[in-house]
Structure 1
Amino acid sequence: MGADAFIEPIIVATILIGGVYVNRRSTSLKDGYRSPSSESLLPNMEPQWRERKVFGRTVRCRNTAVWRDTKISRFIARYPFAVEVWYWLLVYWTYQIGRAFTALTLQADLTPIARLHALSLISLEKRLGLFIELDVQHWFLPRPVLLKIINCMYSFIHIPGTITFLACLYHYAPRPLFEARRRTLAICNLIAFVIFTSWPCMPPRLLPEEDGFGFVDTVHTGKVASVWTSNRFCQQLAAMPSLHFGYSFIIGLTIATMPNVRATNIRRRLMLIAAGMAYPTMILIAILATANHFVLDAVAGFFVAVAGWHVNGVLVNLLPLEDWFFNLLHVHKPDHEEARDGTASPVGDGKIGPEEEWWRRA
């Protein structure tokens, strides 16, 4: 096992820990934090139960605020992004374990089925005039420097870039917007898992030579494969949809539509729009040039992202389960941490109103 197997996880861990530190809070009584010396002066008078809305109905749930004075709760009050790290790890590893399970239980007869699905996509793309994957890859092949860059972009940007985006968004955005984006990514994982499990599709790089296309697996032949995608537990027949593109589209659209940029600051607005458009464009080129996805995989990733963007609020109905879990651990996590100016944020439903001005540094 080479050093690369440790470098990538260390980078990811560093970003997560950095996000926890950057988003730390002062040790004041703000946001429900109590210093150890104040515990005896502020006895816990919280009720045992609280009410939540679940699909429009009011249900009674455990009130985790009764545990606000435990050591873990104080740590969360001081470093609230630690909870988001837990969320990300839960969603990511649930998704990866699901992929690993399908990879280990993969039946031999699914490989030819996945190949036929890939060939059907090529046939459809030819009819639609979208079959450009070979042209894109052939443009990069005689340009080794650019090919190296595009290989690294595909292998090493997806996960670190997404985590960095979440940490920065948490720092600047109001909690409703941040939580909506976090739920959107979780919904995308769920939809993608259902699709590639029920409709396995072989990526272009794995199509056999006898099919006559000649795709090159540039990432693995160039020895720049990510540790996350080159292990035996990775499901290789999961080209459809492309979460690389789906995630990048969500990140890019969020950046491009950042609110509260002053109307007179046209340059700042144009820079955000350009950056928001550039990121998914670069990822699209990377997934095509490395022969990891078809154009229609990216189209499917786009629609998965749009679906997650609009229906992510359904996950709010799972908050009673979260209450039960944190109550079991004797941990309190405030529902919505206060905004940077100290005003409480309302319960998020995945939609952001114009009154929630957060790009305060523009």
Structure 2
Amino acid sequence: MFDRVEVPLNTWIGTVPVVAVTACYFYALMHYVMTPAVLLLSRRHGGWHYWRGYWAIVLASALALAVYAAWPAAPPRLMPDLGIADVMRDFSAYGWWGSAASAPRGIGDATNQYAAMPSLHFGWSLWCAIQLWGLPSRAWRVVAVAYPSLQVLVVLATGNHFLLDVLGGAACVVLAYAVVGLLHRAATSRAGARVPVAAG
């Protein structure tokens, strides 16, 4: 299965250093930049759009953390028998990261190297896409499609996640939005039931 997606992408990117280094920076930076930026954009938009997104990312992240704690899973880069190279390590001379994925050199021990499933790198990018899609500008919809599309290619090509991890991250986000939506509808129904009906 891995030789159909993960291995070919990983093998190819290792042969194109400029793409590999760009992918490393994308992996190391974009989720830290895009996620708060989209949260701020959503806040400016306000209303239910913001609050739905706020609680969805909180719930999705909490669900992922629970999975990490209960079922630690190694990323492909820590499984050399699969034939997948650690691209971040191989090109670490071009950035601040060392052998612990995107963690700065010297503090790799402070990170959880066995938190591959689900992929919050992809999960958060999908969350960004959903929030951006709800904004009125067409330009944001282009970003909403491009960002998670690039993120899935990057996390697979750099050896940081399996395709199944990506699907797990997506599931966390979709489930979180569904739960938030259900709770909102339930609360709205209860509030509507308490409103007295005026006499005709």
Residue 277 of structure 1 corresponds to which residue in structure 2?
145
Distance in structure 1 (CA, Å) of the matches to 2:164 and 2:10: 16
Identify which of 149, 152, 160 aligns with 2:25. Answer: 152
Question: Deviation of residue 274 (structure 1)?
Answer: 2.5
Change (3 A) 1:145 1:278: same
Candidates 3, 13, 18, aligned match of 1:140 = 13
Report percent identity of matched pairs: 26
Aligned-pair CA distance for 1:228: 6.7
CA contact (8 A) 1:183 1:312 kept: yes
Q: CA deviation at 1:170?
A: 1.4
State the AA in 1 paired with 2:56: T
Offset, 1:312? 2.7
Q: List per-residue Cα deviations over 1:215-234 (Å, max 9, x = no partner).
A: 11111231232347952121
The 3-state SS of whatever aligns with 1:147 is helix
Cα distance per residue 1:123-154 (max 9 Å; x no partner): xxx2xx88410111112111111111001000
- TM-score if structure 1 supplies the norm length? 0.46
Aligned to 2:134: 257
Choose from 143, 156, 165 the match for 2:38.
Answer: 165
Q: How many residues align?
A: 178
| Structure 2 gap segments, 5+ residues each | 189-200
Q: Which has the higher helix share?
A: 2
Q: Max radius of gyration: which structure?
A: 1
Q: Kindly indicate whether the alpha-carbon contact (under 8 Å) linking 1:228 and 1:234 is maintained by their aligned counterparts in 2.
A: no
Give 1:5's aligned residue. none
Q: SS where residue 109 of structure 2 aligns? A: coil
Instruction: Write the distance in 2 (CA, Å) between the matches of 1:313 and 1:276.
Output: 21
Aligned to 2:46: 174
Read off the aligned partner of 1:219 and give its amino acid letter. M
- Counterpart-to-counterpart distance in 1, 2:65 and 2:131: 23
Show the counterpart of 1:290. Answer: 158
Match of 1:219 in 2: 88
Residues 49 and 131 in structure 2, CA contact (< 8 A), matched pair in contact too: no
- For residue 108 of structure 2, give the secondary structure of its aligned residue in structure 1: coil
Determine the C-alpha separation between the residues in 2 that align with 1:232 and 1:314.
Answer: 39
Q: 4+ runs of 1 displaced by more than 6 Å?
A: none
1:253–1:277 contact (8 Å) kept in structure 2: no
Residue pair 2:27, 2:154 contacting (<8 A) in 1 also: yes
2:71 maps to 1:199? yes
Equivalent residues in 2 for 1:1-362, closer than 5 Å = 126=1, 131-171=4-44, 173-207=45-79, 209=80, 211=81, 213-223=82-92, 224=95, 225=97, 226-227=102-103, 231-258=108-135, 261=136, 269=138, 271-312=139-180
Is the 2:56–2:176 Cα contact (8 Å) retained in structure 1? yes
SS at match of 1:240: coil
RMSD over equivalenced CA pairs, Å: 2.4
Larger relative contact order (Cα-Cα within 8 Å, sequence gap ≥ 6): 2
Structure 1: give runs of 5+ residues left out of the alignment.
1-125, 262-267, 317-347, 350-362
Please report the TM-score for the alignment, with normalisation by the length of structure 2: 0.80
